[in-house]
Amino acid sequence: MEAPDIDLDTPSVTLDADPMLLKMGPAHPATHGTVRIIVELSGENIERADVQIGYLHRGFEKMCERGTWSQVFPYVDRCNYVSPLLNNVGYALACEKLLDLQVPLRCQYYRMMLGELARIADHLTCVSAMAMELGAFTPYLWMMKAREMVWDIFEEETGARLTHSFGRIGGMALPPTPGFTEHSQAVVTHVISVIGEAERLLLTNRIFLDRLENVGVMSADDAVSLGWTGPTLRASGIPYDVRKAHPYLRYGDVEFEVPVGVRGDCFDRFVVRLEEMRQSARIIAQCAERMPKDGPVNIDDPRIMLPAKDQVYDTIEGTIQHFKLVMEGIKLPAGEVYGYTEGGNGELGFYLVSDGSGTPHRVRIRPPSFYVTGGLESLITGQMIADVVPCFGSLNMIGGECDH
Amino acid sequence: MATFQIDNKEIPFEAGDTIIAAAARAGIDIPHYCWHPGLSVAANCRMCLVELLPPPGRKAMMLDVLRWDAASGQYIKESKPKLVPACQQSVSAGMQVLSDSSDHVVRARAAVQEFLLLNHPVDCPICDQAGECRLQDYWLTQGPNKKRMNDEPIHKPKAVDFGPHIVYDAERCIVCTRCVRVCNELAKDPVLSVSQRGNLNEITVAPGRRLDHNYSLMTEVVCPVGALTSKEFRFKARVWFLNSVPSVCVGCSKGCNSLTDYDPRESKVYRYRPRENQAVNKHWMCDVGMLDYARIHEHRILEASIAGETVPRKAALEKAAELLRGVSGQKLGVVFGAEFSQEENAALLALSQVLGAETFFEAGRTPGNSDGVLMQADRNPNSAGVRQLLNSEPLPGSELAQRLQSGQLTHVIILGSTLKDARACEQVSQLTSGKRIVLASHQGPLLTGANVVLPVTTWAEIEGTYVNVEGLAQVSQQAIAPQGQALPAFKWVAHLARALGKSVASKSLAAARALFEAPPTASAESSHQAGAQP
Amino acid sequence: MAQKLIELVRNEFSDSVLDSYSQHGDETVVIEPESWLALGKFLRDDPGCDMALLVDLTAVDYPQKTPRFEVVAHLASLRLGHRLRAKAAVGATDGTGAQIDSWSGLWGSANWAERECFDMFGVDFRGHPDLRRILLYPEFVGHPLRKDYPADRIQPLVAFRDAENIEKLPPFGPSEGMSFGRKTHDQWLTNRDAADDDL
């Protein structure tokens, strides 16, 4: 073919240089969770970004004020819905902090095991979705299969795969099933092997690494200032984990490490979560050994726990107890408390204000992914549009928690 | 002020007080069932037992008891101080009472509670008292026990018809005898008594009689459990769905203080309860007043009408203005409403002044019998208030009929639907001469043949001040939202004045209230919290 | 553990600290709203406090109290390990005048936290670079977490279709969602005035 008869080095057309406004709207295949990111693009570079959340806002805090303290459990389930038991346990611990009471040892280990299984499920979802959005579909399916096995445990224990409402103030809804520890050990072993396989697929893949390394770097100081906690903060180099810094339940007795990243980029956030799953597996193994095989799971206080159903139907005391606890609610003492645990995405806090009646005056959930998503704007500014996908995926924004 | 101590807290008391009365006045609740501040002391429930430290220099009276020691599996001899009933023990200065801070007292209360629940039927789901039941409340707060008895509980008669308003359930009864004392002391009609012995105790009506005096519903009010229930209220509503506002009974001119319980979801009033006011009704209300709440929802005028035909409010208002336009004040009669509040009557008075009318009458319900205790013959809540506003006695109803017939009065504005004089009322309703503009909340004879009828709110739908027979002005709070098309009369007056090209400043409650100088009222507090049931 | 922290704060702000207490293991300090920004700077920059992490910032509505809203901030120091709850009360009984200084210049997390506080309660943060609604849509009227905002009010952006049983649409119909406990917040919904706009 002949060469064209024009000089290609000198531009003869000037193109419009206004930035382009692109709305990565709430329904977008690559942003899991409903969020709208309005980006101003110059070519492929993001000049400015505006992250708009709130599409899953359901008025959870207002609804809590219309029920009793126990009726909050279904609401907190639906906050971080990929690790609901961590929310249940976190809220129960906040209420118990206000009551100044400790649950029996068996319950503490039970809560830890269920919580760590939930954390594994959460991280499996995040990690595999991140990979899928970058084009790696296979690890997603493998990890979803592994997550199904975790959910099988939940189904056996709580009756539901996702929204369990299993926590109770002063204990759990039911004691562990007889095969719980064996079942969870088996599943966790399998999950670890699946993680290993996925790592082998992904972590030496040039394309995968290029898309994640040095993309979306958040410095440690900036992360702290933005209120980041959890895996995203640890990826930026700060070893803050509520389970280590302010141990609750039996976390002070078990051995585990807190993986910390180096660069604070998407890759670190990815690998920190993989490592955390391994640490969760360690915790589960230790709890499985230490959990007492029998004994009560719930405290024995009639002012807080519901009675057995045969007592309710046959004795007046059981009926009265059931009536008072359901109709008026557990009377948490007047005062306020901030109870915090390590949720799937960071410090999950509950600020409870009680006026002494059974109805909460205020239930504030401190959602870790709310603050983490608040940093998305500064994370993607200056990056390319294609980097939004791994950046957003690495933050693990859970819509239910972020928007409550 | 002389004081004594409860749990190391100084409490003032008056001469003749018992411990429980002085504590109640200070806001401390000593758990009790049979004590009632308005009745004599029975001291049979033994729930209010407190430990009284002996005066200095004396030993406490001790009882020998056997305590079960689980470790050794044996009874061990011990002694514990004798506890005294707080409802019976009079207070003297410097007395030291231990209530919650004494272990003996705490154990005694738990024990009494356990015994009371021993044979109690498992009725909570169907019992009306659920949600306001002392057995439930004290079980939770006074050491929750589990049932230790494995035998069949004693069975007694249930759903016994005591009287026209009261149903009795003997299994739920704890035989506190509050109902017996109400009949004896308040109604002066000793128709109830305790029969049988031991755990077969029950309350019975005297043979050949029924519980039919005018204070039978007070037995239901004082009953701390669900043994006595009111036929009108039972199974109608659950108490935790009801909000309460302090109100004043409008059944007669006594102005007994009450609590109006309504369901905010349906805007419906379900019952009254008496509210304590030592100056007016002490702790009580009569049956007629207690059942008066039904009138809020029955026979109501909820729509405006012109000559008996329903029309939109605006059309009725304009017709009323058209009828009144240009009418000389001499020819205009105004009938004030003894059933309506001072705010509404004051607005009507302001309208009369603006229109130049000076011929005043009074509408109200026809008088009945007084019962010698609370219920007054005058069945209107605000007759004294109307007289205060007018500063004189209104003209009798017969005058109204006569002047309308003779043409001395051509127009009349009426706030109400009946006249106190039944015959005059009948006459007025038959009249064809004279234009009648009626502001009414209920149906009545005066609406027959009225030219314009404007719907007015009842006492439960708007806050109002009512002056009782003793001249005491009391405020009744709003319970439900105005029903149908009804408006408070002071709003109608403001709109009517505006339609006539004049002005009466009564568009809001505050403005209407400013129209009369309310004397310092022994009023209900503006709180929506229910008063505690003694 | 954070007792020393309270003493530091009390010494620095001796005339504006209204109260401080320790409850269930949490330390709280209540301060006058005029000193809010100075307190934030002190807590962040003073080496004895070093509260680099603003954990949460929210508000609570106490309709019976004056001032009505209590702005509550939870802070933590990652290095020193202590935590603090700081509170300041703003706002008149009718909800107007709720203004306080913004901490968005001190901590990045305050940006979104204050936006949410404004969205839910109507608290105005002076100096915030971009105070707009975050969880609700811009056309929303009112501040839902206030006690006098009825929980069953619906504000649809598009009118409902003319269909049956429209009042049973979510969030809930008139007999659902009622608190079982005797205590409700309906006493703050005081506007039951008779509507007479047609006259």
C177 within domain boundaries:
no
B94-151, pLDDT tens digit by residue? Answer: 999 999 999 999 999 999 999 999 999 999 999 999 989 999 999 999 878 888 988 8
Which of residues C163 and C1 earns the better pLDDT score? C163
| DSSP-based three-state secondary structure for B477 | coil
Q: How confident is the model at residue C189 (pLDDT cuts 50, 70, 90)?
A: low
Compare all CA atoms of chain B with the CA of C152 and give the residue at the minimum distance.
B265
CA nearest neighbour of B442 among B506, B400, B486, B477: B486
Mean pLDDT over all residues of chain A? 91
Given a contact cutoff of 8 angstroms between Cβ atoms, the answer to whether A338 and C32 are in contact is: no
pLDDT at site C169: 61
C175 touches chain A (CB under 8 A): no
Q: To the nearest whole percent, how much of chain A has pLDDT over 90?
A: 82
B415-467, pLDDT tens digit by residue? Answer: 999 999 999 999 999 988 889 999 999 999 999 989 999 999 999 999 999 99
Which of residues A61 and C183 earns the better pLDDT score? A61
Which of residues A177 and B533 earns the better pLDDT score? A177
Q: Which chain C residues are within 8 Å of B481, Cβ to Cβ?
A: 192, 194
Cα dihedral sign, B110-B114-B115-B116: positive
Q: At what angle do helices A105-133 and A180-202 cross, to 10 degrees?
A: 20
* Distance (Å, whole) CA C112 – CA C130: 9
CA nearest neighbour of B182 among B274, B90, B88, B294: B274
Q: List beta partners, residue C53.
A: C76
Q: How confident is the model at residue A211 (pLDDT cuts 50, 70, 90)?
A: very high
* Distance (Å, whole) CA C33 – CA A82: 39
A284-306, pLDDT tens digit by residue? Answer: 999 999 999 989 999 989 999 99
pLDDT at site C1: 57
pLDDT at B534 over 80: no
CB contacts < 8 A, A to C, total 132
Q: To the nearest whole percent, how much of chain C has pLDDT over 70?
A: 86
* Distance (Å, whole) CA A130 – CA B67: 69
pLDDT at site B243: 87
Q: Which chain A residues are within 8 Å of B240, Cβ to Cβ?
A: 327-328
Place of tokens 């400013």: B514
Compare all CA atoms of chain B with the CA of A316 and give the residue at the minimum distance.
B122
Give the residue-averaged pLDDT of B365-370: 94
Find the CB nearest C178 among B241, B317, B480: B241
CA Rg value for chain A = 24
Cβ contact, residue pair A100, C24, below 8 Å: yes
| Token representation of residue B71 | 């470790």
* Distance (Å, whole) CA B334 – CA B363: 10
Cβ contact, residue pair A311, B139, below 8 Å: no
The region, left, alpha or beta by phi > 0 then psi within -120 to 50, assigned to residue A88 is alpha
Q: Distance from B456 to chain C by nearest Cα, in Å?
A: 11
Q: Domain of residue C75: give its range.
A: 3-153
The region, left, alpha or beta by phi > 0 then psi within -120 to 50, assigned to residue B15 is beta
A227 touches chain C (CB under 8 A): yes
pLDDT at site C184: 63
C197 touches chain B (CB under 8 A): no
- The b/e string for A68-85 (b: 16+ C-beta within 10 A; e otherwise) is bbbbbbebbbbbbbbbbb
Place of tokens 């706002």: C91
pLDDT at C177 over 60: no
Cβ contact, residue pair A317, B117, below 8 Å: yes
C123 within domain boundaries:
yes
Q: Distance from B240 to chain C by nearest Cα, in Å?
A: 5
Q: Which chain C residues are within 8 Å of A350, Cβ to Cβ?
A: none
- The b/e string for B171-209 (b: 16+ C-beta within 10 A; e otherwise) is bbbbbbbbbbbbbbebbebebbeeeeeeeebbbbbeeee
pLDDT at site B525: 41
* Distance (Å, whole) CA C100 – CA C131: 13
Q: Distance from B269 to chain A by nearest Cα, in Å?
A: 22
* Distance (Å, whole) CA B301 – CA B283: 33
Q: How confident is the model at residue A9 (pLDDT cuts 50, 70, 90)?
A: low
Which of residues C196 and B397 earns the better pLDDT score? B397
Which of residues C153 and B409 earns the better pLDDT score? B409
Q: Which chain B residues are within 8 Å of C194, Cβ to Cβ?
A: 457, 461-462, 481-482, 486-488, 491
Q: Which chain A residues are within 8 Å of C180, Cβ to Cβ?
A: 67-68, 326-329
Terminal Cα distance for chain A, rounded: 62
Q: Distance from B225 to chain A by nearest Cα, in Å?
A: 13
CB contacts < 8 A, B to C, total 40
Given a contact cutoff of 8 angstroms between Cβ atoms, the answer to whether B26 and B18 are in contact is: no
CA Rg value for chain C = 20
- Tell me which of C64, C180, C182 to substitute to probe the interface with B (most B C-beta atoms closer than 10 Å): C182
Find the CB nearest A329 among C61, C181, C184: C181
HSE-up (13 A, CA, CB side) for residue B213: 24
Give the residue-averaged pLDDT of B183-212: 94
| DSSP-based three-state secondary structure for A352 | strand
- Tell me which of B128, B129, B133, B146 to substitute to probe the interface with A (most A C-beta atoms closer than 10 Å): B146
Q: Which chain B residues are within 8 Å of A320, Cβ to Cβ?
A: 117, 124, 135-136, 139-140
Q: How confident is the model at residue C157 (pLDDT cuts 50, 70, 90)?
A: confident
| DSSP-based three-state secondary structure for A129 | helix
Which of 28-87 (C) contact A at CB < 8 A? 28, 52-56, 58, 60-61, 72, 74, 78, 81, 83, 85
Q: How confident is the model at residue A157 (pLDDT cuts 50, 70, 90)?
A: very high
Mean pLDDT over all residues of chain B? 91
- The b/e string for B33-43 (b: 16+ C-beta within 10 A; e otherwise) is bbbbebbebbb
Q: Which chain C residues are within 8 Å of A74, Cβ to Cβ?
A: none
Chains that touch C (3 or more CB pairs under 8 A): A, B
Q: Distance from C8 to chain B by nearest Cα, in Å?
A: 36
Give the residue-averaged pLDDT of B1-21: 92
Q: How confident is the model at residue B199 (pLDDT cuts 50, 70, 90)?
A: confident
C181 touches chain A (CB under 8 A): yes
pLDDT at A25 over 60: yes
pLDDT at B215 over 80: yes
C148 within domain boundaries:
yes
pLDDT at site B532: 40
A336-373, pLDDT tens digit by residue? Answer: 999 999 999 999 999 999 998 888 999 999 999 999 99
Provide the pairing of β-strand A167-168 with A45-52: unpaired
| Token representation of residue B363 | 């509408």
* Distance (Å, whole) CA B91 – CA B373: 31
| DSSP-based three-state secondary structure for A212 | helix
Domains of chain B by residue range: 3-116, 160-296, 305-514
Which of 96-125 (A) contact C at CB < 8 A? 97-98, 100
C8 touches chain A (CB under 8 A): no
pLDDT at site B526: 37
C107 within domain boundaries:
yes
Please tell me the total number of residues recorded for chain C in this structure: 199
pLDDT at B521 over 60: no
* Distance (Å, whole) CA B440 – CA B450: 11
Find the CB nearest B265 among C175, C181, C182: C175
Q: How far is CA B378 from the centre of its chain?
A: 18
C138-156, pLDDT tens digit by residue? Answer: 999 999 999 988 877 878 8
pLDDT at site B267: 86
Q: How confident is the model at residue A316 (pLDDT cuts 50, 70, 90)?
A: very high
The residue type at B519: P
Q: Which chain C residues are within 8 Å of A378, Cβ to Cβ?
A: 108
Cβ contact, residue pair B313, C178, below 8 Å: no
Q: Which chain B residues are within 8 Å of A328, Cβ to Cβ?
A: 240
CB contacts < 8 A, A to B, total 48
Q: Which CATH number fits domain B305-514: 3.20.20.70, 1.10.645.10, 3.40.50.740, 3.40.640.10?
A: 3.40.50.740
Q: Number of structural domains, chain C? A: 1
C174 touches chain B (CB under 8 A): yes
pLDDT at site B524: 43
Q: Distance from A92 to chain B by nearest Cα, in Å?
A: 22
Fold classified for B3-116: Ubiquitin-like (UB roll) (3.10.20)
Chains that touch B (3 or more CB pairs under 8 A): A, C
Cβ contact, residue pair C194, B264, below 8 Å: no
- The b/e string for B135-165 (b: 16+ C-beta within 10 A; e otherwise) is bbbbbbbbbbeebeeeeebeebeeebebbeb
* Distance (Å, whole) CA B198 – CA B230: 27
CA nearest neighbour of A347 among A366, A328, A330: A366
The residue type at B174: I
Give the residue-averaged pLDDT of C79-101: 91
Report chain B residues touching chain A, CB-CB < 8 A: 117, 120-122, 124-125, 130-131, 135-136, 139-140, 144-147, 240
Torsion angles phi and psi, residue B296, rounded to 5 = -65, -30
Give the residue-averaged pLDDT of B81-92: 94
| Token representation of residue B392 | 């004189």
pLDDT at site A367: 94
pLDDT at site B434: 87
Q: Distance from C57 to chain A by nearest Cα, in Å?
A: 9
Can B3-116 and B160-296 be said to share one CATH topology?
no
pLDDT at site C95: 83
pLDDT at B527 over 70: no
Per the omega criterion (within 30 degrees of 0), is the bond before B520 cis? no
pLDDT at site B433: 85
The residue type at B287: D
A399 touches chain C (CB under 8 A): no
Q: Distance from A339 to chain B by nearest Cα, in Å?
A: 26
Q: What CATH code is carried by the domain that includes residue C23?
A: 3.30.460.80
Cβ contact, residue pair C192, B478, below 8 Å: yes
Which residue ranges form the domains of chain A, and what is each CATH number? 52-403 (1.10.645.10)
Cβ contact, residue pair B243, C184, below 8 Å: yes
Torsion angles phi and psi, residue B59, rounded to 5 = -90, 150
Q: Which chain A residues are within 8 Å of B131, Cβ to Cβ?
A: 327
**Could you tell me which CATH number the domain at B160-296 has?**
3.30.70.20
Torsion angles phi and psi, residue A360, rounded to 5 = -65, 140
Which of residues B523 and A17 earns the better pLDDT score? A17
Cβ contact, residue pair B481, C192, below 8 Å: yes
